[in-house]
């Protein structure tokens, strides 16, 4: 594929954080926030067998603990903090360990400047751009991704094409840095070997 819009982006991944702040109609009470930042919730790797909200859930827990009265049980407070997912792509928090985005130094619990302060600062400084008292609506649709028409502007053949059936390559079996797969598959591999070729024939 030829992405003709790739020159419009400074980075390979999205560095932007978006926060929606919600207040009561009279503006006297904070009632919640929704945060969108593109990163996978994979701080807990695939050896964890417990149900957990990972980094998104923990961020919600800490923010609600900060905004609700002391002693409020988790999930019972009037203030609701949601850390939603956006276009995370392949963005992992674990490649080189946790580091502060402003200093580049390893995070340290008591003194790091990135210890939750950026989100709090953005929330406190948030301005109201949209005033309204209507309901929040949504749309959801299913799309057959194997029959999408693709313009010649985006194809390597220079012709109008269509998408095809999905396929899992060898690199998929390698898993991720956060949760490696089994056997000897490696990330970014785009070729096979005789052993796996025979396995495909046997099991297909």
| Catalytic (active-site) positions | 92
Q: Are 98 and 26 in contact (CB under 8 A)?
A: no
Strand partners, 126: none
First to last CA, the chain: 29
Measured between alpha carbons, how far is residue 171 from residues 110, 137, 181, 196 in Å?
Answer: 39, 39, 10, 13
Name the DSSP class of 2: -
- The kind and range of the H/E element at 33 are strand 30-36
Q: Give the residue among 80, 81, 82, 92 at the shortest CA–CA distance from 38.
A: 92
DSSP assignment string, 52-72: --HHHHHHHHHHHHHHSPTTP
Measured over the CA atoms of residue 180, residue 169, residue 186 and residue 88, the dihedral's sign is negative
CA angle 117, 119, 120 (to 5 degrees): 65
**Two structure tokens written together for 29:** 């009470």
């Amino acid at each position: 594929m030829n992405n003709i819009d790739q020159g419009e982006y400074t980075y390979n991944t999205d560095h932007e954080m978006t926060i929606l702040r919600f207040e009561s109609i009279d503006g006297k009470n904070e009632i919640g926030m929704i945060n969108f930042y593109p990163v996978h919730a994979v701080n807990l790797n695939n050896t964890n067998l417990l149900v957990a909200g990972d980094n998104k859930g923990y961020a919600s827990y800490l923010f609600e603990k900060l905004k609700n009265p002391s002693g409020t049980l988790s999930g019972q407070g009037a203030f609701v903090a949601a850390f939603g997912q956006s276009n995370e792509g392949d963005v992992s928090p674990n490649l080189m360990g946790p580091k502060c985005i402003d200093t580049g130094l390893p995070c340290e619990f008591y003194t790091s400047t990135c210890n939750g302060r950026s989100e709090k600062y953005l929330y406190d400084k948030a301005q109201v751009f949209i005033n309204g008292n209507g309901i929040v609506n949504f749309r959801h649709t299913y799309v057959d991704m194997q029959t999408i028409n693709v313009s010649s502007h985006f194809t390597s053949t220079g012709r109008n094409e269509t998408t095809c059936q999905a396929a899992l390559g060898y690199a998929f079996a390698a898993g991720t840095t956060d949760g490696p797969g089994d056997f000897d598959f490696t990330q970014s591999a785009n070729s096979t070997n005789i052993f796996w070729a025979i396995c495909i024939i046997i099991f297909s």
